[in-house]
Copies of this chain bind each other. A is one copy, B any other.
Amino acid sequence: MQIFAAQTQLVLDLVGVFFFAVSGALLAARKGFDVVGSVLLAGMTGLGGGVIRDLIIGVPPAAFDRPIHILPVALAAAVVYLYFPHVSRFRRTLLLFDAAGLGLFCVTGTVRALDAGVPTVSAALLGVTTAVGGGLLRDVVAREVPSLFRHDDIYAVPAMVGAAATALLWRLDALSLWTGVAASVATFTLRALAVRYGWRAPLAYRRLSP
Number of copies: 3
Give 12 A-B pairs besides A36-B154, A87-B205 with Cβ atoms closer than 8 angstroms. Answer: A28-B204, A34-B201, A35-B201, A40-B132, A67-B121, A81-B205, A84-B205, A85-B205, A85-B208, A140-B140, A142-B149, A143-B145
If the complex has contacts A204-B25, A206-B82, are A149 and B33 also in contact, measured as CB distance less than 8 A?
yes
Cross-chain pairs A/B with CB under 8 angstroms, 21 sampled: A25-B204, A29-B203, A34-B151, A35-B203, A37-B148, A37-B149, A56-B60, A56-B64, A58-B60, A64-B125, A64-B126, A65-B122, A67-B119, A67-B121, A67-B125, A81-B205, A85-B205, A85-B206, A85-B207, A140-B141, A141-B148
Looking at the complex, which one of B55, B87, B140, B204 makes contact with A34 (CB distance below 8 Å)?
B204
- Known A-B contacts A64-B125, A85-B208, A145-B143; the reply to A151 vs B33 at CB < 8 A is yes
Where the two chains meet, the residues of A that have a C-beta atom closer than 8 Å to any C-beta of B are: 25, 28-29, 31-38, 40-41, 51, 55-56, 58, 60-61, 64-65, 67, 70, 77, 80-82, 84-87, 118-119, 121-122, 125-126, 132, 136, 140-143, 145-146, 148-149, 151, 154-157, 200-208
